[in-house]
Chains A and B, each alone.
Chain A
């Protein structure tokens, strides 16, 4: 049943008059803010997919730099090299925004763009201290060599001898307590948050839609029971219910977080879907479906559902944002993802103590990434609602 939702352009076929989805799609594309927001969201999705398959941010757990290596992104590094000439350094500020908006468009044409970008960033990182980055592009084994050298270096440190390759003294986004690259961590955190946000939103939408359809369509006793169920869940404040379930479920994990958020967050979807089914079940097309002998299930999900799927889609989008924010809070408190997983929430937790010591970059990176994604997603959701329901203004 999600196929209709997931594939908005499916109804766009040659000669037929444009359907709801193609009209909505056109309206969406006419909205500049929506297009930029969508591009940012797509970029984040690609980024987390790339991170999921290990293309980028694979080595987030490696200690590549000295402890709390400072970031070089916003100011000239201590020893200005050719790469960080004033002109280039001035560009690097707006470069994040630009990259975010541009990259998904480029991606359509050039599948290797991500990899190249990644190489470029690595080059940028290392050029601040040593020319190792140049070798990396030419020599595919450079990574292995660097790994070996680092191990050697660790041995060497004990002997206090000058080592050929030291840990980096600065990184574009800085490093954390153990010298891990904050950029890679924050990308890894995006993956976690986006995965949890989408999975939990899908769980909540499935539950809310299914129960709402049953309640609205059948009415009577079914409606009473499901409404009772709804009133129970909606009378407990959301965050309290989430914490109560977190207290009960001992094992931590991404699946647990998804379940907690999904099982508690379905109520508003239920209410809206129920109202839609109440409205639609008495319409002529449903009666006609009844007359030709369509079963209840068929009428509910084949006939009515496509007509209300725009409501569901907007709710799905709203809930992704809600759950991403909730996941950050849960992980911050330590009730969320396990310790060996990075999330924006766990980064903020570390950053809280680092800030007093003056190390602000982990806080800045996690905040910026989250704010950009959530802003884009919210703007996109608003535009989506406007596009799907032009009467509403």
Chain B
């Protein structure tokens, strides 16, 4: 087990190096010279040269790449080009807001989606099943933008049930007042694809022989669906959850933007708008790292769920 984890962690290194190379290529080679951008409209050659020296982009590429690698390893990306805030402090202060929306969302979404999927999988082929699937398809076809615009307008602006946007200081104030509507919208948006996905996972299992055996033994339908089928379908469900996990870091960037939630996702959009390269570089590299770790965690969870799985 330990040997397996160590080996997997070891395998992360070449991929992480690849990500660093890709980001470096994008921002330092394709992205061009940011000095003109930073100096603004009124600039003289001296200022430009000065900025270039500060950023280290007058060095050859291999030196710049080495600086970037050092930044990744030491978690020190310097400071944002536009606000001068340290990138590490941006991470520390923006992450809580993203997680405040992301974690309750993930829990609610998984529980609700699994329960509904179990229901429609149980009623497979019936009118309810078909109607639910068509509803999901249509719901998925409407852009997330439309959900946000309409929910924000109707529930917050018209009815005044939620604040239109903003973020507070207290934990509970944020969770129950400001995060409530963002979580609701994200829930509505993510339920449709997840129900469809989990339904197929569950259907793969309900056709298996062991389900017939369980029913033949006279087990209640609840026990068959919730214990036998659900446990066996949990591997693909866990995979799907783990795939979504790193997304929590980036947050639901559109929702954060609409509701002015000071999270990582909004920071990404702001950084792209301002061409704030250090912030984008840092977020991309660390989210990629988080994704690789989440994949490892998923594989370890398989073993916990299904003892037949061999880790090799």
Contacts and interface: CB of A to CB of B under 8 A. Distances in A.
B171 interface: no
Contact of A355 (B22, B153, B284): B153
Interface of A: 228-229, 231-233, 235-237, 239-241, 243-250, 325, 328-329, 332-335, 344-345, 348, 351-352, 355-356, 363, 367, 370-375, 378-379, 382
A345 B272 CA distance: 18
B138 interface: yes
Interface of B: 14-15, 18-19, 21-23, 26-27, 30-32, 137-138, 140-146, 149-150, 153, 157, 246-247, 250, 253-254, 257, 268-269, 271-273, 275, 277, 280, 283-284, 287-288, 291-292
A243 B268 contact: yes
Contacts, number: 112
B15 A228 contact: yes
A235 B15 contact: yes
Given A240-B250, A374-B141, A379-B137, A232 B153 contact: no
Contacts of A351: 149
A240 B275 contact: no
Nearest to B285: A236
Contact of A375 (B141, B257, B291): B141
A100 to B, nearest CB: 14
Contacts of B280: 243-244, 247
Contact of A363 (B26, B146, B271, B275): B146
Nearest to B292: A235
A246 B18 contact: no
Contact of B143 (A232, A239, A241, A329): A329
A380 B17 CA distance: 41
B141 A244 contact: no
Name B's interface SS: helix
A391 to B, nearest CB: 13
Given A236-B291, A371-B141, A375-B141, A335 B272 contact: yes
B157 A356 contact: yes
A378 B247 contact: no
A233 B284 CA distance: 11
Contacts of A328: 143, 145
A176 to B, nearest CB: 16
Contacts of B284: 236, 240-241, 244
Contacts of B250: 237, 239-240
Contact of A239 (B18, B19, B253): B253
B145 A329 contact: yes
Contacts of A246: 272
A375 B146 contact: no
Contacts of A243: 253, 268-269, 272, 280
A333 B280 CA distance: 16
A375 B133 CA distance: 12
